[in-house]
Amino acid sequence: MIENSVKLHSEYCGKCLICYSVCPFEAISLNRETGDLVLDIEKCQVCGICFSACPSSSIEIVYYRTAILSSYIEKMRRDNLMLICKGSMIKNQVKENLKKHGILDDNSIQLRVPCVGRIPPEFLLKALKSGVKKVVVVPCEGDKCRFKAGSNVGVFRLILLQKLLRQLGLNSNALSFVRYFIRAQINKYKCIGCGNCAYICPGNAIKIVSPGVAQINEDACLGCGACVSVCPALAINLEGFENDLILETISKHRPLINEEKVKKKGPVIAVFYCQWANFPTPDKYFTYAEENVVFFEVPCSSIINPLYILRAFYEGFDGILVAACKKSECKFEKGNEIAEKHIKALKDLLKQINLEDRLEICFIAPRYLGDLNDQIKLFIDKIK
């Protein structure tokens, strides 16, 4: 039986309707006859906004629970905390400015969460109470939020907390926020003007301009990275997920692969997962390993360049599994469909060297606990 990662306990519910009003996906409905609130798990995107808004704690969520985050911060024992949405990041120039004003230092705790809207206000207050001197929240730009309203909800709460601190005579500057959003960048000196990126971009953010190079409209860029996967000149990079960084990270696992093979624990596989389809713990960002499986996080499955797959095979992985969002649930509209087409095309090429069965794509959702693990087990059994 599949367990859900979000649960609404009606016996604790005060029927205040706050969760009903804030859910951006209409996953919570009101039974007019009984007055009970009902969670439709099929509609739920696990943004956590309802969880953070519930005054009676009647909504249970598995990922990034407040107690776990608070415990993590207390163990780190550092002066500053950066709470960053997965769809956002800190640009170097912004980072330097924050350092200049003493809001950030090289030893700051950096916590990445699926959405800042899932963080309850009391968590920020508890962080300050535990010894953190300054908290910087980094949400996506308002119209770029993957969960529609999460970014604005998180910022609104922070502003209210700032006012509360001022009323209490405390330092309201201890809480601040900086909006940003991950974008693609084109090296015009490498671009060959093939037009692949402009053709595939789901946001129509790229066009070819004189003298025949691609140009990105930053305001229209969705930050999915689909353009990265089709650029033959490797002229496009996504901030925080640059080609060189991903390829280098894959190569670093060669010693681990060799060690696992010596132990003969079975095939060693690589799992490239969309960061919106799988929510690992905060300390497992970008890459982590469990037994004979190595996980690589990507902003969207559409960013996966065939070179990543080939490099993984070259370094010794016995199989590669791509985990994308379930159909019709992609945060970038068609990112999972683009990935599926790419994987199919690459499998056709791999047939020439009898490796087509060592590459697969699956479609998962964080609302179902163990969904990815089940897919991994099926894939490993197939490789065996």
Residue 1: what pLDDT?
Answer: 60
Residue 156: what pLDDT?
Answer: 95
Instruction: Provide mean pLDDT across the span 261-268.
Output: 84
Name the DSSP class of 241: B
Every domain of the chain and the residues it spans: 3-61, 66-177, 185-238, 243-383
Contact partners, residue 212, CB within 8 Å, separation at least 6: 193
Q: What is the pLDDT of residues 139-148, one digit of tens each?
A: 999 889 999 9
Give the chain's length.
384
Whether 185-238 shares its CATH topology with 243-383 is answered: no
Instruction: Provide mean pLDDT across the span 317-330.
Output: 95
CATH 3.30.70.20 fits 185-238, yes or no: yes
CATH architecture designation of domain 243-383: 3-Layer(aba) Sandwich (3.40)
Residue with structure tokens 């901030």?
239
β-strands 269-274, 293-298 pairing:
parallel
Report whether pLDDT(19) > 70.
yes
E strands present in the chain: 3-4, 6-8, 28-30, 37-39, 59-61, 80-85, 109-113, 134-138, 175-177, 184-186, 206-209, 213-216, 236-238, 269-274, 287-290, 293-298, 319-325, 359-364, 368-369
The CATH code belonging to domain 3-61 is: 3.30.70.20
Q: 155 burial class (0-12, 13-18, 19+ CB within 10 angstroms)?
A: middle
pLDDT band at residue 246 using 50, 70 and 90 as cut-offs:
very high
